[in-house]
Amino acid sequence: MHHFAYRDGEMAAEDVPLAQVAEAVGTPFYCYSTATLERHYRVFSAPFEGLDALICFAVKANSNVAVIRTLARLGAGADVVSGGELDRALVAGIPPERIVFSGIGKTAGEMAAGIRASIHQFNVESEPELRLLNDIALGLKTTAPVTLRVNPDVDSGSHAKITTGRSDNKFGIPWSRAREAYREAGRLPGIEVVGVDVHIGSQLTDLEPFEAAFHRVVELIEALRADGHAIDRLDLGGGLGIPYEPGTPPPHPDDYGAMVRRIAGESGCSLILEPGRLIAGNAGILVSRVLYVKEGESRSFVILDAAMNDLLRPAMYEAYHGIQPVREPGPDASTMVADFVGPVCESADTFARDRETAALVPGDLVVIHSAGAYGAVMASTYNSRPLVPEVLVKGDRFSVIRPRIGTDDLIDLDRMPDWLENEGESRAAE
Ligand code: LLP
């Protein structure tokens, strides 16, 4: 459940009418709801109450420091995958002992930053990475707490581009080498083995792949303990899906939590969960204005001022996002079927195809739902478009938590090499 709803005929974020935000910051803009972020965090953590469990928000889903701080205040930890995300988590106020560092390509510098910050653990994904982390830790005269991320060879059933737990994916240590890798880790003086990590994919709409993977990992823990390793932590990653479109919703966090309890509750490990989308996805929207309504040969196009560079998910994963007008259509409002597209010069710049909608005219505001996770973080400036602002709402207040980064700011970052300077002089010499 989220807090974006019609009130007196106008869509509001909590108690703030979106038209008012549009007036203040212009369009397009991202808008997040504090009450929804908080609600999702609580709904996800509730089933783990009474267990020794750390909920680490996957910062890659939404890395705005105000969003991270909102969750930090509830006791959230952070799952980070780069030095940049580590910095953001720390600036936002996540205690280092609640930060886990994932990712298959950590650099020496990122490892050193994590060690210096005294983070909770590194989730290591290969033997070469393990060896480098050992060297870095020894260089800093310490040890690094490590789980190895294992690849359980389980198909998550989600979109191929966001499935990570199959043996042909780049993620994790192959199942057949897991014990051997732990043996090596156990021998490295700069590595302190603390547990096991698994993450099989994102936007899972079925609990079965989770169950299969978690069963395998719990069995592995027994084998590893028999091999003499102290396995005290079990990091189960993220991945629980959210409702994007009408129809059967994905499993409820209560059911996910009960399944985790059943399978891993008796493992003797403290648990780490890394939800990203579940917390932020439906806590954010992208608000855009209709520029034109264009009649094509065979279809109609609603041309928005938001584009694929602002929200990449439909172009990248054929993802469905609900779209609604900000002004509530009356009961007798006429409807139309249209493709919602952006101004970018690619046919992939399409938010929805053949979508039935209340009739729209230029100037109307629309809301693109479920854009709080993997929205702003995946934005680019393609077509020299500005980075859209982000706004956080709390009750009847709103605050710009990242201003629009305009084309002037971006052009200022470009530099002219000396051979292209003094345009006039070089022309004269020719
Ligand atoms: N932990 C690890 C190690 C991950 O790689 C991910 C996501 C998560 C946790 C959080 O997963 P979540 O709970 O959000 O499903 N850009 C794609 C999603 C990429 C997910 C990458 N890893 C999208 O827009 O659908």
**CB under 8 Å to 3, separation ≥6 — which residues?**
13, 14, 33, 35, 36, 39
User: Is 229 found in the same domain as 206?
Assistant: yes
Note the pLDDT of residue 428.
60
How many residues belong to the chain?
430
Instruction: Give the number of the atom of ligand 1 that is nearest the alpha carbon of residue 204.
Output: 15
- Nearest atom, ligand 1, residue 203 CA: 15
How far is residue 53's CA from residue 74's CA, in Å, rounded to a whole number? Answer: 14
Based on the fold, state whether residues 122 and 183 are members of the same structural domain. yes
Residue 394 has pLDDT above 80, yes or no: yes
Half-sphere exposure of 241 (CA within 13 A, CB side): 24
pLDDT for 422? 78
* 203 CA from centroid of ligand 1 (Å): 8
Answer whether 352 contacts ligand 1 (Cβ < 6 A).
no
Rg of the chain (C-alpha set) = 24
> Ligand 1, residues 59, 80, 277: which to mutate, most atoms within 8 A of Cβ?
277
Look at residue 40 and tell me if it is in a domain: no
Quickly state the pLDDT bin for 326 (edges 50, 70, 90): very high
> CA separation (Å) from 417 to 333, 379, 408, 421?
57, 28, 19, 7
Ligand 1 pocket member 273 (CB < 6 A): no
CATH (domain of 399): 2.40.37.10
pLDDT of residue 1: 77
State in Å: Cα 202 to ligand 1 middle: 5
Same domain, yes or no: 169 and 298: no
The phi, psi pair for 247, rounded to 5°, reads 125, -165
At 393 the three-state DSSP class reads: strand
Three-state helix/strand/coil letters over 294-331: EECCCCEEEEECCCCCCCCHHHHHCCCCCEEECECCCC
DSSP state of 250: P
277 within ligand 1 shell (Cβ under 6 A): yes
CA–CA dist 102, 273 (Å, integer): 12
Q: Establish if 85 belongs to a structural domain.
A: no
Q: Is the CB of 293 under 6 A from ligand 1?
A: no
What's the domain count of the chain?
2
Kindly give the number of the ligand 1 atom that is closest to the alpha carbon of 103. 3
332 in any annotated domain: yes
State the Cα–Cα distance between residues 405 and 398, nearest whole angstrom. Answer: 19
Domain assignment present for 206 = yes
Q: Look at 164-178, 195-209, 269-283, 381-395 and tell me which has the smallest mean pLDDT.
A: 164-178
User: For residue 320, is it within any domain?
Assistant: yes
**Beta-carbon contacts of residue 16 (< 8 Å; ≥ 6 apart):** 393, 396, 397, 398
pLDDT > 90: what percent of the chain? Answer: 93
Which distant-in-sequence residues (6+ apart) come within 8 Å of 424 by Cβ?
none
* pLDDT at position 382 over 60: yes
Residue 151 in contact with ligand 1 by CB distance below 6 A: no
Q: Does the beta carbon of 322 lie inside 6 Å of ligand 1?
A: no
Whether residues 242 and 319 share a domain: the answer is no
Within-domain flag for 419: no
Query: Which of 278, 338, 344 has the alpha carbon at shortest distance from 310?
Result: 344
Pairwise CA distance, residues 284 & 281, whole Å: 6
The two structure tokens encoding residue 83: 């030095």
Range of the domain at 407: 4-31+281-412
Task: Identify whether residues 242 and 117 lie together within a single domain.
Answer: yes
Query: Is residue 238 in contact with ligand 1, taking CB distance under 6 Å?
Result: yes
CA distances from 316 to 137, 311, 352, 367 (A): 38, 10, 13, 20
Return d(Cα 237, Cα 374) in angstroms, integer.
17
Q: Amino acid identity, residue 96?
A: P
Residues noted as catalytic = 345
pLDDT value, residue 430: 57
CA of 69 to the centre of ligand 1 (A): 20
Domain membership flag for residue 49:
no
Whichever domain contains 180, its CATH number is 3.20.20.10
Q: Distance, CA 212 to ligand 1 centroid (Å)?
A: 19
How do beta strands 335-341 and 300-304 pair?
parallel
CA 281, CA 32: separation in Å to the nearest integer? 10
pLDDT tens for 307-325 read: 999 999 999 999 999 999 9
The 10s digit of each residue's pLDDT in 32-51 is 999 999 999 999 999 999 99
pLDDT at 427: 59
